[in-house]
Amino acid sequence: MEPLVDVVIEDDRWKTFGLEAAAEAAGRAVLADLGLDPVGYVISCLGCDDARIAGLNADFRGKPAPTNVLSWPSEERCAEADGGTPDLPEPGAMMPEELGDIAIAWETCAREAVEQGKAMADHVTHLLVHGTLHLLGYDHIRDNDALLMEATETRILAGMGIANPYD
């Protein structure tokens, strides 16, 4: 079975954590929930530290501070109507369809997990599900889009045995 997620690890703490397995499980859970066969898709994921993600956040969002996760969809898939279902991509025929890139930062994730009283594995899985949904056109800027994204995340995480992160 070909991996869905191509993981690049810049911070060795992610190797010890098991980012490759976590990203693969999260990506597959999202695609399965949305009825997409992972064979036709690929995601890139960068496991980095706060310094690296702060640079990416500054370059791409104009916010020179660390954040937990960033995502860059390969194309715009958001629904036009607030709360509408995004336009899901077709699988690649000869080559997998590239959904986009995710970057996740160690220190911010670890700090948030402690602050929120969550297991690091559960928090990281939530953020990977969140990032993957962004690649597929889900967003949380508009109110109804946020409700749809949160409900979708919660449903996917429940299927993975992870409690609602918003409770």
Q: Which residues are annotated binding-site positions?
A: 130, 134, 140
Annotation: binding site for Zn(2+) = 130, 134, 140
CA distances from 133 to 77, 94, 99, 128 (A): 10, 24, 10, 9
